[in-house]
């Protein structure tokens, strides 16, 4: 940043530092969560898939719907679903609307596993955010939603 500031007085160093900080926080949270979830043989993507499937009617979504709702690439959804199917937590079945496509269904085993993991995971989530006061958490939510909803021109 010093180099940019020396060569261009108007360089947005505060914005640069803020972006780096956000990226570091995201990486730290993701790394910590995945390290914790590794004890339960899952990762953040597989947990999000199970959680989302458990919350929709029929416990079923298409891979495209999973990808869009979770903002995860279709490739990563496929990879995660492969591992979840292998351990029996989801099932791929032909779509009733389009037999060429498959839908992803949460199995009873996947639902049970999710309920068991969610209790333990909830304790860990509280620990992650325990360094922030309630008003700081609320402010972080407001700011994060604002940044996420802003359409950045390219």
What pLDDT does 5 receive? Answer: 66
Question: Domain for residue 28, yes or no?
Answer: no
Q: Which residues of the chain have pLDDT under 70?
A: 1-3, 5
- Give the number of domains in the chain: 1
Question: Domain for residue 87, yes or no?
Answer: yes
SS3 59: helix
Question: Domain for residue 127, yes or no?
Answer: yes
Name the pTM for this structure: 0.76
Question: Domain for residue 18, yes or no?
Answer: no
What pLDDT does 119 receive? Answer: 85
Q: Are 117 and 51 in contact (CB under 8 A)?
A: no
What's the pLDDT tens digit per position in 87-125? 999 999 988 877 778 999 999 999 999 998 888 888 888
Question: Domain for residue 121, yes or no?
Answer: yes
Distances from the Cα of 70 to the Cαs of 11, 51, 77, 108, 130, in angstroms? 34, 11, 9, 22, 25
What pLDDT does 88 receive? Answer: 96
SS3 124: helix
Question: Domain for residue 77, yes or no?
Answer: yes
Cα–Cα dist 133/35, whole Å:
25
Domain range holding 57? 41-149
What pLDDT does 137 receive? Answer: 96
Q: Are 92 and 104 in contact (CB under 8 A)?
A: yes
| Domain at 78, CATH number | 1.10.10.10
């Amino acid at each position: 940043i010093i180099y940019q500031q020396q060569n261009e007085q108007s360089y947005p160093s505060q914005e640069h530092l803020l972006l780096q900080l956000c990226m570091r926080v995201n990486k730290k949270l993701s790394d910590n969560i995945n390290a914790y979830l590794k004890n339960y043989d899952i990762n953040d993507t597989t947990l999000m898939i199970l959680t989302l499937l458990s919350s929709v009617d029929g416990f079923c979504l298409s891979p495209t719907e999973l990808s869009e709702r979770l903002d995860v690439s279709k490739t990563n959804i496929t990879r995660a679903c492969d591992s979840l199917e292998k351990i029996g937590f989801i099932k791929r079945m032909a779509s009733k609307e389009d037999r060429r496509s498959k839908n992803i269904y949460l199995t009873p085993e996947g639902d049970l596993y999710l309920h068991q993991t969610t209790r333990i995971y909830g304790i860990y989530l509280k620990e992650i955010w325990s360094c922030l006061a309630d008003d700081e958490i609320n402010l972080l939510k407001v700011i994060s939603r604002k940044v996420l909803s802003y359409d950045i021109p390219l």
